[in-house]
């Protein structure tokens, strides 16, 4: 047998949210609503969809791997240099590239837990150890995370707001943490949900890049921009860090359609605003409903809520699936008693509330 690298024995498969197709087939349903993967319920920006159609004539051409138009658009929006930007086939690939560029066998990486599983996956697959700090649904103190850093630490992963809890760190907390972290440790700040954050003290992290050359700000087009299916993510960091990333970046990973749609999406502030407004209203409705049923709802800065259901969380997830409503059970995140619900359109939220009510009564 061809033996895989020994590091692979420590890895478990990524557990994605269930797909609409899967649930439709299993329960023989016509209509299925998915509130499980934090996708934009309004879909992609109509401008992005138009841009996508327009490039259909040039599918035979390779994309430009250096994506100058997209990178310029990002640089302009955030006021950073183009040489400070890297893009990837989703930010998942950016995490993977960070692993290839910076994590060595025998190193370690630290991260708040529970959190997005890809950080640990990348760490282990590069032969390093992952040290998770925190447990349950409480917010991990960044002081505790800083204390876990030692001379073998290469990357500190902080997801803000955090997936799956929705909890966030303020600019003051982040700055205090950055001051404590040694300059040779990359701080991977995952801001996949930053555009949804409404807290006035949520960090303006790109402004911190000049002060902290080890800061790495990760963003994505998958969430508020509604382009999860096209796969495009981007990140901003110091020029030295970005240069190292380009060396290991697959040359044509961000395809043409993704590039043009991302540029259009970035410019569609109307769609972003509509999404944000609908999200804020949905958080209120769903939080009140779950609290009304007696469940604890964590306060969120994302486009999802994390709800403590208790021992029967899995049962609720199964019940909802059988009725054509997909939410995310959080056992694979280490929170077996919680569920994560993506904020949907008003009618989707109402349907969810009606189904939960049915389950609670039954
Ligand atoms: C969804 C998500 C991503 C993945 O984004 P892609 O750009 O679709 O790969 C990254 N980080 C977090 C925390 C996420 O929840």
Concatenated DSSP letters of 43-110 = -S-HHHHHHHHHGGGGTTSPPPTT-HHHHHHHHHHHT--GGGEEEESSHHHHHHHHHHHH--TT-EEE
Q: What is the mean pLDDT of residues 231-255?
A: 97
CB atoms within 10 A of CB 184: 10
Least Cα distance to 198 among 278, 142, 266, 265 occurs for: 278
| Residue to mutate (ligand 1; options 163, 168, 192, 332; most atoms within 8 A of CB) | 192
- Residue 192 CA to ligand 1 centre (angstroms): 6
Q: What is the largest CA-CA distance in the chain?
A: 59
- Residue 79 CA to ligand 1 centre (angstroms): 23
Residue 220 CA, closest ligand 1 atom number: 7
Q: What is the mean pLDDT of residues 273-300?
A: 98
Residue 115 CA, closest ligand 1 atom number: 13
C-alpha dist (Å) from residue 118 to 95, 107, 163, 285, 338: 7, 17, 11, 31, 20
What is the structure's pLDDT at 305? 98
- Residue 220 CA to ligand 1 centre (angstroms): 7
User: Mean pLDDT, the chain, as a whole number?
Assistant: 97
Residue 92 CA, closest ligand 1 atom number: 9
How far apart, in whole angstroms, are the C-alpha atoms of residue 308 and residue 294?
A: 10
How far apart, in whole angstroms, are the C-alpha atoms of residue 340 and residue 120?
A: 20
Those residues whose C-beta lies under 8 Å from the C-beta of residue 12, and which sit 6 or more positions away, are none
Tell me: pLDDT of 309 over 90. Answer: yes
Q: What is the mean pLDDT of residues 147-163?
A: 98
Bridge-based pairing state of the strands 304-308 and 335-342 = antiparallel
What is the structure's pLDDT at 10? 86
What is the structure's pLDDT at 9? 87
Residue 162 CA, closest ligand 1 atom number: 13
Scan for tokens 């991260």, then name that residue: 111
Q: What is the mean pLDDT of residues 305-329?
A: 98
Phi and psi (nearest 5°) for 147? -70, -25
- Residue 64 CA to ligand 1 centre (angstroms): 23
What is the structure's pLDDT at 160? 98
3-state secondary structure (DSSP) of residue 307: strand
- Residue 38 CA to ligand 1 centre (angstroms): 9
What is the structure's pLDDT at 7? 87
> Is 120 in contact with 110 (CB distance < 8 Å)?
no
Tell me: pLDDT of 271 over 80. Answer: yes
- Residue 232 CA to ligand 1 centre (angstroms): 10
What is the structure's pLDDT at 283? 98
- Residue 354 CA to ligand 1 centre (angstroms): 29
Least Cα distance to 44 among 243, 255, 218, 263 occurs for: 263
- At 225, the pLDDT band (50, 70, 90 cuts) reads very high
What is the structure's pLDDT at 325? 98
Tell me: pLDDT of 112 over 90. Answer: yes
What is the DSSP secondary structure assignment for residue 139, as one 8-state letter? P
pTM of the full structure: 0.97
What is the structure's pLDDT at 245? 97
Residue 93 CA, closest ligand 1 atom number: 9
Tell me: pLDDT of 15 over 80. Answer: no
What is the structure's pLDDT at 17? 77
Residue 94 CA, closest ligand 1 atom number: 9
> Is 202 in contact with 171 (CB distance < 8 Å)?
yes
Tell me: pLDDT of 192 over 90. Answer: yes
Q: Which helix (H) or strand (E) holds 318?
A: helix 313-322
Chain CA centroid to CA 281, Å: 21
Tell me: pLDDT of 270 over 80. Answer: yes
- At 242, the pLDDT band (50, 70, 90 cuts) reads very high
Q: What is the mean pLDDT of residues 266-293?
A: 98
Q: Which helix (H) or strand (E) holds 287?
A: helix 269-292
Which residues, listed in sequence order, are joined to residue 305 by a DSSP beta bridge? Answer: 341
Residue 228 CA, closest ligand 1 atom number: 8
Tell me: pLDDT of 38 over 80. Answer: yes
Tell me: pLDDT of 16 over 90. Answer: no
Tell me: pLDDT of 284 over 90. Answer: yes
Q: Percent of the chain scored above 70 by pLDDT?
A: 100
Q: Radius of gyration (Cα) for the chain, nearest Å? A: 20
Convert the pLDDT of each residue in 337-354 to its tens digit.
999 999 999 999 999 999
- Residue 357 CA to ligand 1 centre (angstroms): 31
How far apart, in whole angstroms, are the C-alpha atoms of residue 19 and residue 24?
A: 9
Tell me: pLDDT of 244 over 90. Answer: yes
Which residues, listed in sequence order, are joined to residue 342 by a DSSP beta bridge? Answer: 304
Least Cα distance to 169 among 279, 301, 277, 276 occurs for: 301
Q: What is the mean pLDDT of residues 252-278?
A: 98
Protein residues whose CB sits closer than 6 Å to any atom of ligand 1 = 38, 90-92, 116, 159, 163, 190, 192, 220, 222, 228, 233
Q: Which helix (H) or strand (E) holds 158?
A: strand 153-159
| Residue to mutate (ligand 1; options 116, 224, 227, 330; most atoms within 8 A of CB) | 116
Q: What is the mean pLDDT of residues 322-334?
A: 96
Scan for tokens 């800061």, then name that residue: 215
What is the structure's pLDDT at 12? 82
3-state secondary structure (DSSP) of residue 189: strand
Residue 38 CA, closest ligand 1 atom number: 1
What is the structure's pLDDT at 241? 98
- Residue 223 CA to ligand 1 centre (angstroms): 8
- Residue 359 CA to ligand 1 centre (angstroms): 31
The residue whose CA has the least distance to atom 2 of ligand 1 is: 192
Scan for tokens 């930010």, then name that residue: 91
Q: What is the mean pLDDT of residues 311-317?
A: 98
Q: What is the mean pLDDT of residues 250-269?
A: 97
The residue whose CA has the least distance to atom 12 of ligand 1 is: 192
């Amino acid at each position: 047998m061809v033996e895989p690298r020994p590091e692979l024995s420590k890895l478990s498969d990524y557990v994605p949210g269930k797909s609409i197709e899967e649930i439709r087939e299993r329960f023989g349903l016509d209509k299925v609503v998915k509130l499980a993967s934090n996708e934009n319920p309004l879909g992609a920006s109509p401008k992005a969809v138009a841009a996508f159609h327009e490039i259909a004539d040039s599918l035979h051409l390779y994309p430009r791997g250096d994506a100058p138009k997209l990178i310029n658009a990002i640089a302009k929006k955030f006021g950073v240099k183009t040489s400070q930007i890297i893009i990837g086939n989703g930010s998942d690939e950016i995490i993977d590239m960070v692993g290839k560029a910076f994590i060595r066998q025998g190193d370690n990486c630290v991260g708040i837990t529970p959190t997005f599983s890809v950080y640990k996956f990348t760490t282990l697959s590069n032969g390093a150890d992952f040290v998770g700090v925190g447990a349950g649904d409480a917010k991990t103190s960044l002081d505790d995370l800083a204390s876990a850093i030692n001379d073998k630490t290469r990357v500190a992963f902080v997801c803000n707001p955090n997936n799956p809890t929705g909890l966030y760190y303020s600019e003051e907390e982040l700055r205090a943490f950055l001051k404590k972290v040694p300059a040779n440790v990359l701080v991977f700040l995952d801001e996949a949900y930053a555009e949804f954050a409404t807290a006035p003290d949520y960090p303006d992290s790109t402004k911190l890049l000049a002060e902290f050359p080890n800061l790495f700000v990760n963003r994505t087009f998958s969430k508020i921009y509604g382009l999860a299916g096209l796969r495009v993510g981007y990140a901003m960091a110091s020029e030295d860090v970005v240069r190292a990333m380009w060396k290991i970046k697959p040359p044509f990973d961000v395809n043409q359609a993704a590039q043009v749609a991302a540029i259009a999406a970035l410019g569609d502030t109307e769609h972003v605003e509509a999404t944000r407004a609908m999200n804020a209203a949905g958080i209120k409705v769903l939080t009140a409903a779950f609290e009304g049923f007696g469940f604890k709802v964590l306060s969120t800065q994302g486009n999802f809520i994390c709800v403590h259901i208790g021992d029967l969380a899995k049962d609720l997830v199964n019940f909802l699936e059988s009725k054509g409503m997909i939410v995310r059970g959080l056992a694979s995140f280490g929170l077996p008693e919680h569920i994560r619900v993506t904020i949907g359109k008003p009618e989707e939220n109402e349907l969810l509330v009606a189904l939960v009510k049915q389950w609670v009564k039954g």
